Structure 1
Amino acid sequence: MPKELNDNICKDAVFERIYNKYAQDLQNFLYYKYGAQYNPGDKAQDAFVKLWDNCKNVTLSKAKAFLYTVANNLMLNEIKHQKVVLKYHLENPKSYTNETPEFILEKEQFLQRYQKVLQSLSEEQRVAFLLNKVEGKKHAEIAELLGVTQKVVEYRIYSAFTILKRELDGFKIK
């Protein structure tokens, strides 16, 4: 069966015509068949993306069947995924760890000391340090946010790190 040469789906105008013709009907089909909880609009859009990705392999006469089949399969995959998620939530998570009680206690004590030392830092040091180490911002970004030079930010982070190393045994940061 020869492809329609005049109506190549990869052409923007033809694809737009297909989209305008089937988008709402496809979304309604998914909504009526599966309900709103599985995002029928998103699945319909995903089906059109797959049609665009496969536009060279799908003829114009098969476009509607392709869209409905792909969208239906996407919804079925989503339902399977939701079943796995539900099964995981219904299982009781293990209530034990391989960590010793001493390790857990040491970890909690270290966290308390760390928070105490963080509170003892000046606000400028604490803000620069946390923006860099917790949020992962670069020195230049922090300087721009705080309205200071990059050297000032580097000094604040370095001085905060020095205080933390001095106050906390074994304190290291990557």
Structure 2
Amino acid sequence: MLDKTMNHISVCEEQSFTRLHQAHAASLRNFLFYRFGSLEKAKDCAQEAFIRLWNNCSKVSFEKAKSFLFTTANRIFLDDTAHQKVVLKFEKRSDMSEAQSETNPEFLYQVDEFKNQLETVISALPEKQRTVFLMSRIDKMKNQEIADLLEISVKTVEKHITSSLKSIRSELDELNHFSI
């Protein structure tokens, strides 16, 4: 137990902060353990509450420090719980949208149409551009590897890739009647 005569001591003093930590760390950790159900999370959040107390030590009186710690710990718990709800909601939504898009006939048709358009546009590229582009994007070769294999400079490889991407993009934009 802390002595009541210490009310005039500043929380910012290292000795008084250490006493607060010794007096309340275990009970704060247990409080959070009961809330979270995870000892690791409880330890992390208790530590975070003490960090926040230290960062606000000039604003918190010694006699209010315990209250500050437990209130802060509870807020950390509530914030974490709200965050977990958002994460779960997003995961459900993304799982649902992936599953829906995989079985949606219109989506599948659009994917097939896009693939066909892309293949047509790529096949219409000049031979060197097409070769460099496919080696880069399909075979996942590095620019230096392509340059060595085709006996051209890395700058030429980069130029072919850039030109290919510009051509593909503009052709697909024209086919779809809009600009990206």
TM bin, normalised by shorter chain, reads: 0.5 to 0.7
Counterpart Cα distance in 1 of 2:30 and 2:140: 58
Relative to its length, the structure with more helix (as a share) is 2
Structure 1 counterpart SS, 2:58: coil
Aligned-partner residue type, residue 121 of structure 1: Q
Give the aligned partner of residue 72 of structure 2.
70
Give the aligned partner of residue 45 of structure 1.
47
Question: CA offsets per residue over residues 91-110 of structure 1, 9 Å max, x none?
Answer: 2226259x874378639x68
Counterpart Cα distance in 2 of 1:112 and 1:81: 43
Match status 1:102 vs 2:114: yes
Give the aligned partner of residue 11 of structure 1.
13
Residues 31 and 40 in structure 1, CA contact (< 8 A), matched pair in contact too: yes
Give the aligned partner of residue 170 of structure 2.
none
Counterpart Cα distance in 2 of 1:4 and 1:66: 15
- Assess, with a 3 A threshold, how the Cα gap between structure 1 residues 81 and 166 changes in structure 2: closer, same or farther: closer
Aligned-partner residue type, residue 34 of structure 2: Y
Give the aligned partner of residue 34 of structure 2.
32
Moved over 6 A (4+): none
Aligned-partner residue type, residue 16 of structure 2: V
Aligned-partner residue type, residue 164 of structure 1: E
Larger radius of gyration: 2
Q: CA deviation at 1:37?
A: 7.8
Match status 1:164 vs 2:145: no
Question: CA offsets per residue over residues 124-164 of structure 1, 9 Å max, x none?
Answer: x8xxxxxxxxxxxxxxxxxxxxxxxxxxxxxxxxx434323
- Assess, with a 3 A threshold, how the Cα gap between structure 1 residues 104 and 31 changes in structure 2: closer, same or farther: farther
Structure 2 matches for 1:134-173, cutoff 5 A? 159-166=153-160, 169-171=163-165
Scaled by the length of structure 1, the TM-score of the pair is 0.60
- Assess, with a 3 A threshold, how the Cα gap between structure 1 residues 171 and 114 changes in structure 2: closer, same or farther: same
Scaled by the length of structure 2, the TM-score of the pair is 0.59
Alpha-carbon RMSD? 3.6
Question: CA offsets per residue over residues 56-92 of structure 1, 9 Å max, x none?
Answer: 1211111111101110111111111111111221222
Counterpart Cα distance in 1 of 2:75 and 2:115: 48
Q: CA deviation at 1:54?
A: 1.4
Counterpart Cα distance in 2 of 1:12 and 1:44: 18
Aligned-partner residue type, residue 114 of structure 2: E
Counterpart Cα distance in 2 of 1:58 and 1:35: 29
Greater shift, 73-82 or 88-97, is seen at 88-97
Number of positions where the alignment pairs a residue of Structure 1 with one of Structure 2: 134
